[in-house]
Amino acid sequence: MTRRLDPEAIDLAQLVTQLREAVQLPIEGNLEGRTELRDAATRLLDCSQLEAEQIIDTMVGRGFLRREQLDDGLIIWRLNAT
């Protein structure tokens, strides 16, 4: 039997703090950076990649994660404790 993740029970601000410690900043690249965040969330939350992807989507939608394109074209991900 697989344990189901309860997305409502996750403190997204706390997850931002944990992600800051789990990944090397800055998080660069559109797809590469998102993948790095998803994989870190998978490890931190002990969940599936699909569940972690849904959490990352939620974090983007609620402003905890933001994708930003710099003047030189580089895409980075910002972690915000909103």
The tens digit of pLDDT for each residue in 25-48 reads 999 999 999 999 999 999 999 999
C-alpha dist (Å) from residue 82 to 31, 49, 63: 23, 24, 7
Helix 12-22 vs helix 30-45: crossing angle, to nearest 10: 110
Whether 2 has a pLDDT exceeding 60, the answer reads no
State both tokens at 78.
């910002």
pLDDT band at 1 (very low <50, low <70, confident <90, very high): very low
pTM: 0.89
The domains of the chain are located at 11-79
* Domain spanning 11-79, CATH class: mainly alpha
